[in-house]
């Protein structure tokens, strides 16, 4: 068998260090041509005591399905599953949080801000977070610190006659 790809990750969560090593390899099937993935997991607590240890050998075609099943199962076991394929999403998260902005939405955001609406009102209207609205305002030229105002023109972009 030949290793064709390898990934290693080490992460610290509080006082515990977790290691995950993934290696894709050719061979292992009856014809010696199948591609397999080996996942090795380890973890050690603050006194170097083992908290995780294991190895999985998976047919490469089964990796996406098994990743979803493992994620869902572990999150459910930890009490964090929510019935959405293991993806965490709080019930109060706005519907359009993280969605791309269109030119039309940008124009409406600018218009509402210049009309004097608050960040919170606009966030409710767009079904996004107030932080997302504040972050988007400068992209449409609006000053998130001054309701109803555009950002000032930076000196480097002013006409010669505008400089004071």
pLDDT of residue 88: 53
| Structure-block tokens of residue 42 | 């380890």
pLDDT of residue 79: 78
The pTM of this model reads 0.45
pLDDT of residue 81: 62
pLDDT of residue 86: 43
| Structure-block tokens of residue 140 | 């449409």
Give the pLDDT confidence of 70-79 residue by residue, as tens digits. 888 888 887 7
pLDDT of residue 150: 93
Q: Which residues of 6-33 are buried (b: 16+ CB within 10 A; e: fewer)?
A: eeeeeeeeeeebeeeebbbbeeeeeeee
Q: In what order do the strands lie in the sheet with 50-59?
A: 2-13, 16-26, 35-44, 50-59
Which residue positions in the chain have pLDDT lower than 70? 1, 27-33, 81-91, 154-155, 158, 160-164
d(CA 83, CA 39): 25
């Amino acid at each position: 068998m030949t290793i064709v790809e390898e990934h290693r990750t080490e992460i610290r969560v509080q006082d515990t260090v977790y290691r995950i090593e993934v290696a894709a390899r050719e061979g292992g099937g009856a014809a010696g041509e199948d591609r397999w993935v080996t996942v090795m997991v380890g973890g050690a607590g603050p006194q170097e005591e083992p908290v995780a240890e294991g190895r999985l050998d998976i047919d490469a075609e089964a990796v996406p399905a098994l990743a979803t099943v493992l994620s869902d199962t572990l999150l459910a076991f930890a009490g964090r599953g929510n019935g959405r394929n293991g993806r965490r999403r709080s019930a109060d998260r706005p519907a359009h949080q993280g969605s791309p902005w269109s030119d039309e939405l940008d124009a409406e955001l600018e218009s509402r801000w210049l009309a004097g609406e608050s960040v919170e009102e606009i966030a409710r209207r767009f079904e996004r977070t107030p932080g997302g609205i504040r972050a988007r305002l400068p992209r449409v030229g609006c000053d998130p610190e001054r309701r109803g105002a555009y950002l000032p023109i930076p000196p480097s972009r002013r006409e010669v006659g505008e400089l004071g």
